[in-house]
């Protein structure tokens, strides 16, 4: 499997971060291309979060990319259960030159965080993650189906 290796002298504080490009869903990309309009995209800093079953991004990005809510789902946090809206998006883990990975993601307030998106287990289910704290590094192995050929 292709592997992305990241080393940081401050891995303990920074966590496992990775560059991510976010796009609207494939259907909207196709629609925009058919109309010869630009496809909006944004480069993000992602935090790999094994404690999140689902991904979520900083909510203002939804307006920037003209994303539209397509569903709502309950979420369990230490404070209890609540229901929130979900957007369909496509993510590209740009260190891998991956194919776009379509997911549903929540809109979050990450304005005071040093990252823009939480990469949850909905992405990690296609990966092997090795967090090497002794070496201040982590390796992310991605399933070949997501690699651009």
Partner 1 sequence: MLEKELKIYEENKARLREENPSGGYVIIKDERIFGVWNDRQDALNAGIKEFGNVPFLVKEIGEKSNNINSFSRDILFVN
Quick one: 36 or 134, whose CB is closer to partner 1? 36
Residue 114 in contact with partner 1, rule: CB under 8 A: no
What is the size of the binding site for partner 1 (CB under 8 A)?
Answer: 37
Q: How many CB atoms lie within 10 A of CB 73?
A: 11
Q: How many CB atoms lie within 10 A of CB 107?
A: 19
**Residue 14 belongs to what H/E stretch?**
helix 11-14
At 115, is the secondary structure helix, strand, or coil?
Answer: coil
- For partner 1, the binding residue among 106, 115, 124, 146 (CB under 8 A) is 106
Chain positions 31 to 50 lying near partner 1, rule: CB under 8 A, are: 31
- For partner 1, the binding residue among 75, 99, 126, 147 (CB under 8 A) is 75
Q: Return the DSSP state at 144.
A: G
At 11, is the secondary structure helix, strand, or coil?
Answer: helix
Quick one: 2 or 59, whose CB is closer to partner 1? 59
At 110, is the secondary structure helix, strand, or coil?
Answer: coil
Residue 56 in contact with partner 1, rule: CB under 8 A: yes
- For partner 1, the binding residue among 7, 53, 128, 135 (CB under 8 A) is 53
64: left (phi over 0), alpha (psi -120 to 50) or beta: alpha
The CB-of-125 to partner 1 minimum distance in angstroms stands at 13
- Chain positions contacting partner 1, by CB under 8 A: 24-28, 30-31, 51-54, 56, 59, 66, 68-79, 81-82, 84-85, 88, 102, 106-109, 118
């Amino acid at each position: 499997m292709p592997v992305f290796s990241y080393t940081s002298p401050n891995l303990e504080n920074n966590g496992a971060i990775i560059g991510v490009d976010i796009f609207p869903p494939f259907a909207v990309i196709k629609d925009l291309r058919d109309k010869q309009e630009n496809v909006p995209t944004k480069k993000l800093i992602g935090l790999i979060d094994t404690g999140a079953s689902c991904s979520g991004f900083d909510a203002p990005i939804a307006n920037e990319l003209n994303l539209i809510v397509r569903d709502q789902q309950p979420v369990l946090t230490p404070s209890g259960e609540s229901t929130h809206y979900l957007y369909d998006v496509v993510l590209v883990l740009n260190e891998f030159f991956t194919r776009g990975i379509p997911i549903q993601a929540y809109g979050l307030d990450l304005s005071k965080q040093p990252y823009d998106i939480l990469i949850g287990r909905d992405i990690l289910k296609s990966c092997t993650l090795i967090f090497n704290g002794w070496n201040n590094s982590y390796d992310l192995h991605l399933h070949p189906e997501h690699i651009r050929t």
